[in-house]
């Protein structure tokens, strides 16, 4: 990841090459469900849905990790809590009760998603406010610590299934659409993902994004010109948490299930790997990274039970021989824009 990569990513006027690539990507994503149906591979639609959801989470993490220089090893906390927002609201709705004696349940996607964003943001505000007092390796570990605390909390919460998790019998509703239908749900996720990526693009290109990049490159210099790095970093961390919470809520809907598995530290690691694999600090990198990891795992598990023995070396080769992940690789192969 070179420093100029950051500044260019956010440039408001994309080159024609890049615009063409984006257009191709958009057309491809919209046509995908119909294409795979025609090819007789309907199970690829849910797979693509999973990729999109992870892409939202990874792109949100990338805002903190790649653009803000905050290596969070605890983003599973936001992902899982976003999922539990959906789960708990649904359970409360089914039981016709009140959560904490105050909040009625719901199964409306238009309420559960904003709720997950809100809770994710609040959680990130709390965790970020404390964790940002440290930096470097300590920051990595303290974010992990908070995520682990939440993991153990949800494991011991018997009311919400504990370690076994809770089943959400029906997906959340949206405008009377049949969300249970794979293609419908795919397009819901695609819309949300498009909005998230658009928002991230705007954020990165804004003054806020510039300041954030400046802090990442040289915190002391930014402080010297009168910018308080802490507030900017915290804001980025909160936005990152909101996006990840949103992804968690979609994942809970997709799986129709939440469990502490979503909060485990390995999930934080997986999200991080998607970002690194795709390309740290690039806008679309996390999408490629999520797609690569999810698809590789799926293909390899269907191929052999010793899939880890193939996935491991592939990841290793990617780190050792590509700089800047898949996005960097594409760039060097001359696909898309030239930024280096």
**Using rule CB under 8 A, residue 295 touches another protein:** no
If the CB atoms of residues 96 and 225 are measured against another protein, the closer one turns out to be: 96
Query: According to CB under 8 A, which one of 17, 169, 198, 335 is a site residue for another protein?
Result: 169
Q: Which range in 11-19, 25-33, 113-121, 132-140 contacts another protein by CB under 8 A?
A: 132-140
User: What would you measure as the largest C-alpha separation in the chain, in angstroms?
Assistant: 60
Supply the minimum distance, in Å, between the C-beta of residue 19 and another protein: 29
Q: How many positions of this chain bind another protein (CB under 8 A)?
A: 71
Phi-psi region of 157 (alpha: psi -120 to 50; beta: other; left: phi over 0): beta
Contact call for residue 50 and another protein (CB under 8 A): yes
Find the Cα–Cα–Cα–Cα dihedral 43, 244, 268, 29, rounded to 10°: 30
Distances (CA, A) of 42 to 25, 28, 32: 20, 16, 10
Nearer to another protein, 8 or 264 (CB): 264
Minimum CB distance to another protein smaller for 95 or for 206: 95
What's the closest the beta carbon of residue 106 comes to another protein, in angstroms? 20
Burial tier of 243 (Cβ tally within 10 Å: 0-12, 13-18, 19+): buried
**Contacts (CB under 8 A) with another protein, residues 247-286:** 251, 255-257, 259, 261, 265-266, 269, 272-273, 275-277, 280
| Stretch 53-72 residues interacting with another protein (CB under 8 A) | 65, 71
| Per CB under 8 A, 148 contacts another protein | yes
In the complex, what is the shortest distance from the CB of residue 288 to another protein, in angstroms, rounded to a whole number? 14
Instruction: Give dist(CA 300, CA 320) in Å, integer.
Output: 21
Query: In a 10 Å sphere around its CB, with 0-12 CB exposed, 13-18 middle and 19+ buried, how is residue 46 labelled?
Result: middle
Q: Which of 167, 177, 219, 329 binds another protein (CB under 8 A)?
A: 167
Give the binding range for another protein (CB under 8 A) out of 116-124, 210-218, 225-233, 298-306: 298-306
All residues at 6 or more sequence positions from 242 whose CB lies less than 8 Å from its CB, including other chains: 60, 78, 117, 118, 120, 121, 124
Q: Which is nearer to another protein, 158 or 207 (CB)?
A: 158
Reading the block at residue 280, the tokens are 């740290």
Residue number, 212 or 293, with CB nearest to another protein:
293
Establish if 315 lies at the interface with another protein (CB under 8 A): yes
167's enclosing H/E stretch is: strand 166-167
7 CB burial (10 A radius; 0-12, 13-18, 19+): middle
Query: Given the complex with another protein, which of 140 and 284 has the nearer CB atom?
Result: 140
Distance CA 269, CA 53 (A): 16
């Amino acid at each position: 990841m070179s420093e100029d990569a950051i500044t260019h990513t956010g440039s408001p006027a994309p080159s024609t090459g890049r615009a063409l690539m984006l257009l191709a990507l958009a057309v491809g994503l919209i046509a995908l469900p119909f294409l795979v149906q025609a090819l007789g591979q309907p199970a690829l639609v849910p797979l693509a849905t999973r990729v999109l959801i992870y892409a939202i989470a990874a792109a949100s993490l990338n805002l903190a990790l790649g653009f803000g220089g905050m290596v969070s090893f605890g983003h599973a906390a936001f992902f899982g809590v976003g999922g539990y927002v959906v789960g708990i609201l649904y359970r409360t709705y089914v039981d016709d009760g009140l959560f904490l004696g105050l909040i009625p349940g719901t199964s409306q996607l238009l309420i559960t998603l904003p709720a997950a964003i809100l809770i994710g943001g609040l959680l990130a505000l709390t965790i970020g406010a404390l964790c940002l007092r440290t930096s470097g390796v300590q920051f990595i570990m303290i974010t992990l610590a908070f995520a682990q605390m939440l993991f153990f909390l949800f494991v011991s919460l018997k009311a919400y299934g504990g370690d076994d998790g809770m089943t959400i019998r029906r997906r959340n509703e949206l405008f009377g659409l049949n969300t249970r239908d794979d293609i419908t749900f795919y397009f819901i996720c695609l819309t949300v993902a498009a909005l998230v990526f658009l928002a991230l693009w705007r954020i990165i290109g804004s003054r806020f994004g510039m300041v954030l990049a400046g802090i990442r490159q040289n915190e002391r210099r930014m402080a010297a010109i009168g910018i308080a790095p802490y507030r900017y970093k915290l804001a980025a961390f909160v936005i990152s948490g909101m996006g990840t919470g949103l992804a968690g809520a979609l994942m809970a809907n997709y799986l129709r299930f939440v469990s502490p598995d979503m909060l485990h530290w390995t999930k934080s690691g997986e999200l991080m790997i998607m970002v690194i694999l795709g390309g740290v600090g690039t806008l679309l990198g996390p999408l490629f990274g999520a797609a690569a990891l999810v698809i590789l795992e799926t293909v390899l598990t269907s191929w052999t039970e010793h899939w880890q023995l193939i996935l491991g070396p592939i990841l290793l080769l990617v780190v050792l021989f590509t700089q800047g992940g898949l996005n960097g690789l594409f760039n060097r192969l001359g696909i898309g824009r030239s930024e280096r």
